[in-house]
Each structure stands twice: as C-alpha cells, then as structure tokens.
Structure 1
C-alpha cells in the first residue's frame, strides 16, 4: 500500500513554498516580473525539479513568456543556492522552469461559460 504523502511530494511542496518567497523578495530581473510558482514536480531520485510558473498580470504574447523563462533560467543557479541554504538536503535538484497555462485556460473556459449563459438568457427572454 502506497503512502499518502511520499517524500517527493513533501519535497515538492517545500520547494514550491520557498521558491515562491524567493521569487517575490529576491529576484529583481525585469524580465521575470510578478511571477508565482503554481506547481513543482520533482523526480524520484531528487535530481531534477520541473517548476511551473505563472505571472499575476499575464503575458502579452509568446515572446514575453520566453523572456520570463529566460530570466528564470538565468537565475536558476542563484535560486538553487538559496534553496540549499533554506532546505537541508544533500543534493539540491536542478531547477527547470516551465510556463503553466492552466490559469489562462481556466479564464478562457470561464469566458466561454459566461457567454453560453448569456446566450441562454437571451433565448429565454425572446
């Protein structure tokens, strides 16, 4: 029987919490902006961590996403050292940053539902 919370899941939560704080307080790269960590996937051997980020004010286009990820990847060594000081682990995983599109997708689905409900109300009134 598998345990409910594995070591990798607990470690993912810790990395997510600490990275979110570090990104808010310590990263001043203008390419990054107001970024938050939405999810972290750590491999079972704890060597790699996929960090999924999203930005509060959204992105204008794909170029903004690429610039933000480039800024985060250039700061990954600094963030990794900062995590090593905060989290006691023999080997700190290599950080790989990815853009999380789930928030945008959720807003898009919300707009579609609102539009469908408006059409239904308009049909009922006629």
Structure 2
C-alpha cells in the first residue's frame, strides 16, 4: 500500500515539474498549447509515461509530438534537480485520446437524440 502511494506521489511530482519545464523553459514555437493530463510511473520508478493533450488539429498534434520527443533529454536534464530517486526516469510522451473519445461519444449520443426527436414529429 505504501509503495502505491510512493509511486503516485512520484508521478504527481514528475507531472508538475515536467509541466513547468514545457511551459516556461521549452522555447519551441511548434510546441503549441500543451496540457499534461496524467503520468504513469513504472513500479521501479525508471519509466515515466506522460500523457498530454494539445489545442489544435492533427497537424498541430504531429508538431507537438515531434517537439516533445526531440526535447526529452532537455526535459530530463531540467527535472533532475527535483528528482530524489536514484534513477532519473526515462520519459515517454503519448497523446491522450480520452477527450477525443469523449467528444465522439457525445456526438453519437446527440445524433441518436436528434434521430429520436425527429421520429416523434
């Protein structure tokens, strides 16, 4: 149980610090408006999987993905002073499709409702 809390606290720390680095220190005009949604850390604390969303279309998502993957070593070096673990985690960035999925479900539900309303008339 304590191990789970430790991993969660570590993931929260990484999320906060990486978010600040991306916002304030990553000076790439192609990064876009990035929001970190969650961070999963492996039990041995060696891998941090970071999920993000970005404001914009598919083209902007591709640019942001490229910027984040290209900047991994810079971000790692910037978070190093804040990490108290023996190992500095490997950072892996993935686009979080949860919001897209939710919007798709919402649009499907609206179309079903509209179809039902049109059948009643």
Determine the C-alpha separation between the residues in 1 that align with 2:46 and 2:118. Answer: 55
Per-residue CA deviations over 1:57-89 (Å, capped at 9, x if unaligned) read 23234xx43332221111111111221123333
Compute the RMSD of aligned alpha carbons. Answer: 1.9
Determine the C-alpha separation between the residues in 1 that align with 2:16 and 2:23. Answer: 11
Determine the C-alpha separation between the residues in 2 that align with 1:18 and 1:81. Answer: 11
> How many residues are matched?
121
Matching residue within 86, 105, 112 for 1:90: 86
Where in structure 1 are there 5+ consecutive unaligned residues? none
Structure whose residues are more often helix by fraction: 2
Which secondary structure state, in structure 1, belongs to the residue aligned with residue 58 of structure 2? coil
Q: When the two structures are superposed, what TM-score results if normalisation uses the length of structure 2? A: 0.86
Per-residue CA deviations over 1:26-67 (Å, capped at 9, x if unaligned) read 222122211111111111111111111110x23234xx4333
Which secondary structure state, in structure 1, belongs to the residue aligned with residue 23 of structure 2? helix
Summarize the Cα distance change of 1:107–1:19 in structure 2 as closer, same or farther, 3 Å threshold.
Answer: same
Determine the C-alpha separation between the residues in 2 that align with 1:113 and 1:21. Answer: 37
Partner of 2:109: 113
**Residue 74 (structure 2) pairs with residue 75 (structure 1):** no
Per-residue CA deviations over 1:94-125 (Å, capped at 9, x if unaligned) read 1011111111111111111112112222222x
Counterparts in 2 of 1:1-126, with a 5 A limit? 2-3=1-2, 5-55=4-54, 57-61=55-59, 64-124=60-120, 126=121
Structure 1 contact 53–99 (Cα < 8 Å) conserved: yes
Determine the C-alpha separation between the residues in 2 that align with 1:74 and 1:42. Answer: 21
